[in-house]
Amino acid sequence: MLTLKLAFRNILRQRRRSLLTALSMTGGYMLFVFSMSLLEGSWSNVVDIFTLDQTGHVQIHKDDYAKRPKIHKTIRDRAAVERVLESHDEVTGWAPRVYSAALAYGGDKTSPAQVFGIDPALEPSVTRILQKVTEGEYLDAAPNADGYFKAMIGRGLARTLHLGIGDEIVLISSGADGSIANDIFIVTGIVGNATSFDRLGVYLPITVAQEFLSTGADVHEYALLAKDKHDNENLAVDLQGLLPELKVSPWQEIEATFYRTMQSDKQGNHFTMGLIVFIVFIGVLNTVLMSVLERTREFGVLKSIGSRPFQLIRLIFLETIMLAGISVAVGFVLILPVVIWFTEVGLQLDMAVDMGGVVFDTMKGEMSTYVFFMPMGFMLLTAALISIPPGLRAARILPRVALGSH
C-alpha cells in the first residue's frame, strides 16, 4: 500500500511528464480501438456479403457433396432434417436447394448454365435473393397462362443469350435417373450483375427443378442462418450431433480458401496496428527512462534507508501501469461515442460498391468487447513490459553515486 501511495504521489509531482505520457498512451489506445473497429466491421461486412449472397452460415449435405457434387447425392429424409432445423433455437432461417449443370438455349445462341432450384418462400430468409433482382420480378411456383414455368436468370446469361423479360429459355441437362432433362421456361427476372457468382445461373422454383431433374422430393443442400453469425461453427458441431448421417459444415469449411485469405489479411492488419502502438510505447519508454534519470538522488535516498531493489522495480512498474490504466480509461470514454456512431450510422462512401448485385455504400465499424478489450489488454501488457528496463536501472543505482549526482 505504501508503494502504491508513493507511485501515485510521484505521478502527481511530475505533472508535465506524466501528462505527456498519458496523452501518448491515450492516443495510442484510441487509434488502436478505432482501427480494430473499422477492421472488424469491414470484414464482418465482407462476410455478410459472402454468406448472404449464397452460402449461408452453415450448410447440410449428403456425404461429400460439397467437395464432389453429383446429382444422385441427395438428402432423402427431409422431414427429419426440417424438424431439427425448426426446433433449434440458434437457427433463424433455412432453405432447401437443388443444383445441376445445364446447357441453355436462347434464340440462336447457347451457353453453359447452372440451375439453382430454390424455395421461393424460404430462400429470402437465408440470402439476399430479393435484393438481387435488378429487372423483372421475383419468381413463384405457379405456371403462366400458357403453362410455362417461370425462371430468373443471371445478368451474364441474359447478355450472352440476348434474353429479356418475357423471353423463352430452353434448358437441357441430365436427370438423376439417367434421363435427358429438357424444358422451356419463361424469363421473369434478371439477377445480379455480370460479375455475380450466379451470372450464368438459372433460378427455378424447387418443385419445378426437382421435376425437371427427376430427383423426386430429394434436395442436394440445406443452407441456414445462425442467430449469432460468429458462433456458426459451434452451431455446425451441434447440428452434426443431431444429424449424424449427414455432413454439416460451417461456411469457413465450405469456402476454406476465402476464409484462410481473410484470416491472413486480418493477422497482417493486427500486426501493423500492434507495431504502431509499440512505436508509441517506445516514446513512452524514453519518457519513463528520463524520469528515472531525473530522480537518481531520490532512488539513492530510498536505497540508503533500506529500500530493496525489488521495491524500486515495483514502484516504477506501478507508476507505469497506473498511467496506462488512467490513459486507457480516458481513451475508452473518448472513443466510445465515435465507435457507436460508426457502428450505427457509418461513413457514406463517395462511390457505392456493387458486390454480386448487392450495393453497399456505407463503411461501418463494429462494437464488441473484443474491439475494446483486446487493445486494452495489449496496452497494459506493453506498459508492464516497458516498465522493466527503467525499473532495473533504478534498482542498480548505488546510494553513494546517486547522492553525489546533480
**b/e map of 137-158 (b: 16 or more CB within 10 Å)?**
ebbeeeeeeeeebbbbbbbbbb
Same domain, 277 and 379: yes
Q: Are strands 133-136 and 201-205 parallel, antiparallel or unpaired?
A: unpaired
Same domain, 75 and 200: yes
Tens digit of pLDDT for each residue in 325-369?
A: 888 899 999 999 999 988 888 777 777 665 555 556 677 888 888
Grid cell 438481387 in the structure block, residue: 132
Query: Concatenated DSSP letters for 273-340?
Result: HHHHHHHHHHHHHHHHHHHHHHTHHHHHHHHHTT--HHHHHHHHHHHHHHHHHHHHHHHHHHHHHHHH
Same domain, 83 and 42: no
Q: Return the minimum-mean-pLDDT range out of 230-234, 249-253, 278-282.
A: 278-282
Identify any residues that bridge with 185 across adjacent strands, giving them in sequence order. Answer: 149, 169
Q: What is the mean pLDDT of residues 86-95?
A: 93
Is residue 157 pLDDT above 80, yes or no? Answer: yes
Same domain, 8 and 114: no
Same domain, 10 and 80: no
Share of the chain above pLDDT 70, in %: 85
Same domain, 289 and 333: yes
Provide the number of structural domains found in the chain.
2
Same domain, 112 and 155: yes
Q: What domain range is 139 assigned to? A: 70-219
The DSSP element (H or E) to which 405 belongs, if any, is: none
Extract the C-alpha cell encoding 318.
506501478
User: Would residue 252 count as lying in a domain?
Assistant: no
Q: For residue 309, name the pLDDT band (cuts at 50, 70, 90).
A: confident
Tens digit of pLDDT for each residue in 56-69?
A: 999 999 999 988 99
Q: pTM here?
A: 0.75
The DSSP element (H or E) to which 143 belongs, if any, is: none
The rounded distance, in Å, linking the Cα atoms of 388 and 379 is 15
Q: What is the mean pLDDT of residues 269-282?
A: 75
Please say which residue of 219, 249, 284 terminates a domain. 219
Q: Are 220 and 65 in contact (CB under 8 A)?
A: yes
Same domain, 268 and 395: yes
User: Would residue 308 count as lying in a domain?
Assistant: yes
Same domain, 96 and 214: yes
User: Would residue 144 count as lying in a domain?
Assistant: yes
**What's the distance, Cα to Cα, between the start and end of the chain in Å?**
30
Same domain, 100 and 210: yes
Same domain, 263 and 200: no
Q: For residue 278, name the pLDDT band (cuts at 50, 70, 90).
A: confident
Same domain, 26 and 79: no
User: Would residue 60 count as lying in a domain?
Assistant: no
User: Would residue 184 count as lying in a domain?
Assistant: yes
Q: What is the mean pLDDT of the chain?
A: 84
Please say which residue of 199, 219, 239 terminates a domain. 219
Grid cell 453429383 in the structure block, residue: 70
Q: Across 155-290, where does the E strand assignment appear?
A: 168-174, 180-191, 201-205, 221-226, 247-250
User: Would residue 235 count as lying in a domain?
Assistant: no
Please say which residue of 219, 242, 269 terminates a domain. 219
